């Protein structure tokens, strides 16, 4: 017993290796971490593909979009109007002007329905009779006024309208304070139309191309007057477009 050597195990119980050895051993990541990393990479790739597709489609749509007409096309089409549109407008103008009797009066002038164009004014003879004030009110209610003569030509034009029925009609001329005034407040030119007796409460009538004086309370027909509607004349561009008229009865005679 005296010569036996005893060895003691000084390692801590339950420890198979030292702390230094345990720190040097690499940690193993869980498997789901790797799966998540792969899915993230795949999502980024899909997003990149979608961005590229959207960019390509946008370029194709932009290239296929219709381009606006250039200045030369605008000029050749008379401001965007087609040949058919220009000819149709021209045809309507010629038709209504001829029907309205204004084709030879320096342009196309249209009068309201049942009104008659004479010279460059529209006239309407009343169907009923009444005193001068009633005639004035009737014309005012129509957005017009009793006939006013700027010159002897106006008087002649109206005389032609009433000549066939041999009418005596009220016009827009009345004496006030011994002075003759038209209903539009313009002065009466006695040197042009001849002098008229100026007494109170007298008004003027037209008969046989002459102005006469009558009491304002007398009963006569009257004539209303209004400005015609002026249609625009055709432009040079319209005439060029309308050079070849469509073969349609409505347009053939009226086109340009």
Q: List pLDDT tens digits, range 139-174.
A: 999 999 999 999 999 999 999 999 888 899 999 999
Domain that holds residue 77: 73-110+239-256
SS (H, E, C) the chain: CCCCCCCCCCCCCCCCCCHHHHHCCCCCCCHHHHHHHHHHHHHHHHHHHHHHHHHHHHHHHHHHCCCCCCHHHHHHCCCCCCHHHHHHHHHHHHHHHHHHCCCCCCCEEECCCCCEEECCEEEEECCCCECHHHHHHHHHHCCCEECCCCCHHHHHHHHHHHHCCCCCEEEEEEEECCEEEECCCCECCHHHHCCCCCCCCEEEEEECCEEEEEECCCCEEEEEEECCEEECCCCHHHHHHCCCCCCCHHHHCCCC
What tens digit of pLDDT does each residue of 132-141 get?
999 999 999 9
Q: Does residue 184 sit within a domain?
A: yes
Residue 157: CATH number of its domain: 3.10.100.10
Q: Looking at the structure, tell me whether residues 131 and 82 fall in a common domain.
A: no
- The answer, yes or no, to whether residue 117 has pLDDT greater than 80, is yes
- Both 93 and 199 in one domain: the answer is no
Residues 116 and 212 both lie in one domain: yes
Does some domain include residue 67? no
> pLDDT tens for residues 49-106?
777 776 666 656 555 555 555 544 555 554 555 666 666 656 666 656 655 555 555 5
Domain count, the chain: 2
In a domain, 196, yes or no: yes
Q: Tell me: do 129 and 221 sit in the same domain.
A: yes
């Amino acid at each position: 017993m005296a010569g036996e050597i005893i060895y003691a195990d000084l390692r801590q119980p339950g420890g198979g290796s030292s702390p230094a050895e345990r720190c040097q051993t690499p940690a193993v990541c869980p498997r789901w971490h790797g799966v998540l990393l792969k899915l993230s990479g795949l999502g980024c790739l899909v997003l990149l593909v979608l961005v590229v597709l959207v960019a390509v489609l946008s370029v194709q749509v932009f290239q296929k979009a219709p381009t606006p007409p250039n200045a030369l096309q605008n000029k050749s089409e008379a401001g965007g109007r087609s040949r058919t549109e220009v000819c149709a407008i021209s045809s309507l103008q010629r038709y209504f002007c001829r029907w309205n009797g204004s084709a030879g009066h320096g342009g196309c002038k249209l009068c309201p329905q049942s009104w008659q164009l004479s010279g460059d004014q529209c006239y309407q003879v009343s169907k009923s009779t009444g005193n001068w004030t009633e005639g004035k009110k009737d014309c005012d209610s129509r957005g017009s006024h009793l006939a006013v003569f700027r010159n002897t030509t106006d008087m002649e034009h109206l005389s032609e309208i009433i000549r066939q029925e041999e009418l005596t009609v009220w016009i827009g001329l009345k004496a006030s304070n011994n002075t003759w005034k038209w209903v539009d407040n313009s002065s009466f030119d006695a040197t042009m139309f001849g002098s008229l007796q100026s007494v109170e409460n007298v008004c003027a009538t037209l008969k046989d191309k002459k102005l006469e004086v009558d009491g304002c309370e007398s009963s006569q027909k009257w004539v209303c007057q209004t400005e015609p509607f002026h249609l625009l004349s055709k432009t040079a561009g319209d005439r060029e477009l309308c050079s070849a008229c469509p073969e349609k009865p409505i347009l053939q005679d009226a086109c340009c």
